[in-house]
Amino acid sequence: MSMFALTAAQRETLRARLAERDRLLRGEIEQGLHAATSAADADAGRPDGPVADLESGIAVAEIERDAAELNAVLAALARIEEGSYGQCTDCGGPIAFERLLAQPQAPRCIRCETERDRLRARPSPPAL
């Protein structure tokens, strides 16, 4: 089932959105790494170490978040190239164009993503 739910124009629209997001994320990651390095150098002798550590931790978390999103964008671009983009990676059904417009890197249809979220939110059984 190769991109059966999307027209060529829809695929191209989504490919362009993914490419733009790729470019933006790479820029944000580069800026974050530069800012974190500069901040670490500037904070080396400051007495407010805990504040600097907190700021550095926030910067690292932002870089990690951006890197995770970039990986999802790259995976979506790879699915476009292999012909499986727009197909749910769990059930194999189509992912609605509206969902892909909102989140072009989405690997799952709404039904499968909702089920995945529900299972993740389930409390762990008590330890014996």
Q: In the block, which residue shows the tokens 């959105």? A: 17
Each domain of the chain, given as residue ranges in start order, spans: 8-86
| Distances from the Cα of 8 to the Cα of 3, 4, 23, 97, 107, angstroms | 9, 10, 22, 12, 19
C-alpha count within 13 angstroms, C-beta hemisphere, residue 68: 6
H or E element that contains 16: helix 8-43
- Going by pLDDT thresholds of 50, 70 and 90, the confidence category of residue 32 is confident
The DSSP 8-state label assigned to residue 77 in this structure reads: H
- Going by pLDDT thresholds of 50, 70 and 90, the confidence category of residue 2 is very low
pLDDT of residue 56: 74
- Going by pLDDT thresholds of 50, 70 and 90, the confidence category of residue 3 is very low
SS3 87: strand
Structural Rg of the chain based on CA atoms:
20
Q: Mean of the per-residue pLDDT values for the chain?
A: 87
| CB atoms inside a 10 Å sphere around CB 97 | 16
Nearest alpha-carbon partner for 93 in 1, 22, 25:
1
Tokens describing residue 109:
């249809």
Tokens describing residue 104:
């072009």
pLDDT of residue 105: 97
pTM (global) more than 0.75: yes
